A and B are shown apart, each in its own frame.
Chain A
């Protein structure tokens, strides 16, 4: 419910803007003071106190009023505050992204930054909250009719950007289109979609899957308009039901979205008039842009520069537990790494605390299990392989390498923080007589080499905040294309299947624990740490909805001017 509460609070804030204008007089005084002399702290305090009181007052009043005319309230607020020359809400929210936006077709694109943009324009049937719950978004309700039939009732008042209502036909159209696209993995297990009536669909599944519903929360399968596709317009995929409409994309500069004034759910409509995403690839430049006020939000600020952001009164540095697991791993089919004891020796030799310090300045959590923290059934109590050089050396001897004497290659991608992690591990392994040559390649090359199984050691990460199956099955099942370890264990395969399909949740949890213990002990992968989510923004930012995995929802975010 956190999200709903937040949404409500935001609406009332916006709605009662006219009341806040009372505070504008004080604001003006404050501004004038600021220009004349910067040292008037007492005056500032009084002004902000008054402002706070006004805010609280308006909140109380706002809550007692109905929420229906929120949109008009906003309009009044903006226009009247414009007259006095000091708007309360910044027209435009500018988000500085760390990656280039490259494709806004939901079903063709793959990058997180595209996903984040698309969350403004498109909505899914089910919303996945940042504490792991499923809530209705475009769906009214859902239930399993039987093991392989899922019936979903849709909300009846949902409208696309072009004003046409969203119906079961659109859902069927979207999901069937998914099956033949990059999103097909998301819809794995879906056989067909039946339209029962205008606002009811049935999804026919191949077999029962504990986590099928989570698939429907991915923005990639957000509902698109069948009519838009049939109309033959350019880029029909941009028509969605979301709070914002696509406005303009200037390649390499920015993508802008403008508020959808006819959003179907006025209570949760967008607040800022416009949201702009600006890619600034160079991390330092991005933080400087934030400090200069060129952007309001800095995604992925460099850890080493946080101290400057923290010192800045206008900026908030927000940290929350993340879901991105960085790991060191072996190709278990390559000599000598097919030797389990040797792998365990290496695991004992790696100083995770040093890795964490150097890679992210300690902003993360060292981890023993292979599952991303926060996922269902996360279990980190096993002993694992803590840093212990004596044990490492003993295991080396046991594995048949008492004096080390192994020379090997560590494959890494050419992005941060892999080089830092690799230099620490290189130094660690030297202590037990293993010489590591670091081989730096691009992401694309790394993936290909690892899929083919030509690497020896490698560093990689896995970011998952929804489905445990996408960790267990994708990374460890025999034959999975992302099983870069080329690990194969029938016992593990069996447990993976059981976790996916066992309906008794107690029992399923036990299977999960058993599986994690097995995978840790087999040591195809040495989990290093989970990086915290760190994000910096203008202190006036409100209404943001952050996910530890980085798939933030900005559809209700705005900057409140102080």
Chain B
């Protein structure tokens, strides 16, 4: 198991190399002169040149990249061009908000999807099943921000139940989480449904039924437990995606998360902030995936055995 984790962590190194390389060069070789942005709207030509010198923009990009990577190896992710603050600290300052939104959305999605998935599976191929699946698909069929705006108009402006945006206590996370969560519901519902269907067909369920166990007991005690593995996989994947993929929801709800941090700083050509944040994001994704894999092992002894054999 430990070897498996180490192996996973080692895989991070090429990931960091590749993503930092792509982002760093993309940031530098495309339009938008960072020196002009740092120096400000009314800066003189001399001032812009001075900034270029100060920040080393006059060096060729590969030299700048090597300098950046040298810093990275020492654990220094650099200083943002815009805020003059440490990139790592800025990222970490935004992380709680992102985590809160991600977990809340996934929680919302699970709350909606698992019952819906079970319901549709039990009623397989009836109109209830069809209706349930269409309902689950609605969220993923709508542009996220559009749904967000409509939710704000209705629940915040019309009814006044929730704040329109910002992060102020548990109540403020409801609308953004619902927006993002509805988008995730489709996949989780579908996975739950098909996993349940797979399990329901198994012999032991038939046995349980034959023994005279009630439907409810069969579904919740026997079937759901065994259907959990694919559901956990999907939830894990979704969680990893939501961590950085909710830039639109963050923008609509003024949610101070990582995605918006990256988006804002791309437009300012803030190379250290963007590159650093993307690297940290890929590390985060990797960690989440590793954790999901470890959870598997606990849920399913077969997989655990497999890893132990490999390790």
Contact = CB atoms under 8 A, between A and B. Distances in A.
The answer on A and B forming one complex is yes
A250 B166 CA distance: 12
A32 to B, nearest CB: 22
B164 A288 contact: yes
B242 to A, nearest CB: 17
A184 interface: yes
Interface stretch (A6-14, A133-141, A276-284): A276-284
B82 A102 contact: yes
A184 B44 contact: yes
B32 A442 contact: yes
Contacts of A103: 82-84
A394 to B, nearest CB: 38
Contact of A282 (B39, B40, B45, B252): B252
B254 A184 contact: no
B254 A444 contact: no
Given A252-B94, A288-B157, A445 B31 contact: yes
A509 interface: no
A375 to B, nearest CB: 15
A294 B164 contact: yes
Contacts of A474: 42
Contacts of A284: 149, 152
Interface residues of A, number: 43
Interface stretch (A68-76, A149-157, A447-455): A447-455
A402 B220 CA distance: 80
Contacts of B149: 284
A182 interface: yes
B11 to A, nearest CB: 31
Contact of B36 (A186, A291, A447, A470): A447
B177 to A, nearest CB: 16
Contacts of A163: none
A292 interface: yes
Interface string B19-59: 00000000000111100111111111111101000000000
A426 interface: no
Nearest to A110: B40
B167 interface: yes
A493 interface: no
Interface in A243-260: 250-254
A110 B38 CA distance: 8
B44 A292 contact: no
Nearest to A237: B84
Interface stretch (B131-139, B207-215, B261-269, B280-288): B261-269
Contacts of B236: none
A443 interface: yes
A305 to B, nearest CB: 11
Most buried by A among B30, B152, B257: B152
A185 B43 contact: yes
A444 B83 contact: no
A185 B257 contact: no
B32 A448 contact: yes
A447 B41 CA distance: 10
A102 B253 CA distance: 19
A19 B305 CA distance: 80
B252 A285 contact: yes
A298 to B, nearest CB: 11
A208 interface: no
A251 B163 contact: no
Contact of B93 (A250, A278, A282): A250
A254 B39 CA distance: 25
A253 B37 contact: no
Nearest to B156: A288
B119 to A, nearest CB: 35
A253 B166 CA distance: 7
Interface string B208-233: 00000000000000000000000000
A75 to B, nearest CB: 28
B250 to A, nearest CB: 9
Contact of B42 (A185, A449, A451): A185
B97 interface: yes
B163 A252 contact: no
B86 to A, nearest CB: 12
B194 interface: no
B164 A289 contact: yes
A441 B149 CA distance: 25
B260 interface: yes
A211 interface: no
12 contacts: A100-B264, A109-B40, A110-B41, A180-B50, A188-B44, A252-B256, A253-B167, A442-B32, A444-B33, A444-B269, A447-B36, A481-B44
Interface of B: 30-33, 36-48, 50, 82-84, 90, 93-94, 97, 149, 152-153, 156-157, 160, 163-167, 251-257, 260-261, 264, 267-269
Given A289-B163, A481-B45, 18 more contacts: A100-B264, A102-B83, A108-B84, A110-B40, A182-B39, A186-B42, A252-B97, A281-B254, A282-B251, A285-B152, A289-B166, A292-B164, A444-B267, A447-B36, A448-B32, A449-B31, A451-B33, A481-B43
